[in-house]
């Protein structure tokens, strides 16, 4: 596999593909119903969907694993568990975080995601958390990539993480929009306009400090 190529989901992982397709259908059908009234300017992001999967790094003795390559500009080979410990169903919200002229993707988890993240970071302290996403605007072939593999240097008890993705700013924006669409459909967050809550900043900063990302 070429270092700069996108990394697709293994074809044997039927559950992953089925979930992505079913979520995409729900979002597309709902968006179609909501846009049928006419008169409103079309939202180019209304059909955006995204998944996100978190896989724990394992040692060479593990059999239920796969080898991946992260960071296309300077590839890092990792062996990770085939099954994700957390996925988009655990995402409460996602956002772009501006940081020193660059950007990060920030993820806040629901109760289940918070518990799994904390337990996983404690049980596998010092290992990496490989992050993969599939995203689409609904008008293009879905993109798939391993975005990052931050190292869990402390127990992650805040229920949120932030990481620098191997993606352009526009790609990261699409991932964030798609994840928030899924969170709304799964009722992990209210529909836009129904409830306004201030975005946490201190937790995001703590999450940034908790990770030692490969570069």
Provide the CA 192 distance to its chain's centre, in angstroms.
20
Q: What is the DSSP letter of 83?
A: S
Q: What are the Cα distances from residue 39, in Å, to 36, 42, 82, 208?
A: 9, 9, 47, 43
Residues 133-157 have pLDDT tens digits of 999 988 888 999 999 999 999 999 9
| CATH number assigned to the domain covering 14-212 | 3.30.1360.200
What average pLDDT does the segment 62-85 reach? 93
For residue 208, pLDDT over 60 is answered with no
pLDDT tens column, 80-108: 999 999 999 999 999 999 989 999 999 99
- How far, in Å, CA of 188 to CA of 89, rounded? 8
Between 128 and 205, name the one with better pLDDT. 128
Place of tokens 């290992």: 127
Nearest-angstrom CA–CA distance, 48 and 51: 11
The overall average pLDDT reported for the chain is 80
What is the distance between the alpha carbons of residues 206 and 147, in angstroms, rounded to a whole number? 20
* pLDDT at residue 158 greater than cutoff 50: yes
Alpha carbons within 13 A on the beta-carbon side of 89: 10
pLDDT mean over 127-136? 97
How far is it, in rounded angstroms, from Cα 54 to Cα 88?
9
E strand or H helix that includes residue 147: strand 143-148
User: d(Cα 75, Cα 192) in Å, to the nearest integer?
Assistant: 38
Residue 204 pLDDT > 50 = no
Q: Tell me the three-class secondary structure of 170-192, residue by residue.
A: HHHHHHHHHHHHHHHHCCCCCCC
- Across residues 148-176, what is the average pLDDT? 97
For strands 102-109 and 91-99, give the pairing.
antiparallel
Among 38-42, 64-68, 104-108, 139-143, top mean pLDDT goes to: 104-108
């Amino acid at each position: 596999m070429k270092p700069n190529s996108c990394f697709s989901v293994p074809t044997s992982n039927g559950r992953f593909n089925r979930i992505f397709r079913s979520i995409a259908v729900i979002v597309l059908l709902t968006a179609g119903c909501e846009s049928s009234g006419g008169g409103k300017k079309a939202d180019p992001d209304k059909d955006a969907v995204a998944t996100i999967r978190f896989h724990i790094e394992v040692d060479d003795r593990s059999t239920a694993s796969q080898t991946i390559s992260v960071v296309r500009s300077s590839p890092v080979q990792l062996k990770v568990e085939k099954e994700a410990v957390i996925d988009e169903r655990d995402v409460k919200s996602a956002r772009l975080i501006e940081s020193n002229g660059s950007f990060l993707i920030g993820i806040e988890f629901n109760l289940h995601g918070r518990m799994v993240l904390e337990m996983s970071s404690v049980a596998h302290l010092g290992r990496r958390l490989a992050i993969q996403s599939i995203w689409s605007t609904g008008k293009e072939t879905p993109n798939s990539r391993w975005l990052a593999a931050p190292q869990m240097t402390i127990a992650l008890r805040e229920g949120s993480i932030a990481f620098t993705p191997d993606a352009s700013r526009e790609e990261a924006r699409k991932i964030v929009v798609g994840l928030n669409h899924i969170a709304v459909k799964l009722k992990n967050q209210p529909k836009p306009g129904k409830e306004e809550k201030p975005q946490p900043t201190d937790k995001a900063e703590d999450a940034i400090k908790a990770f030692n990302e490969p570069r």
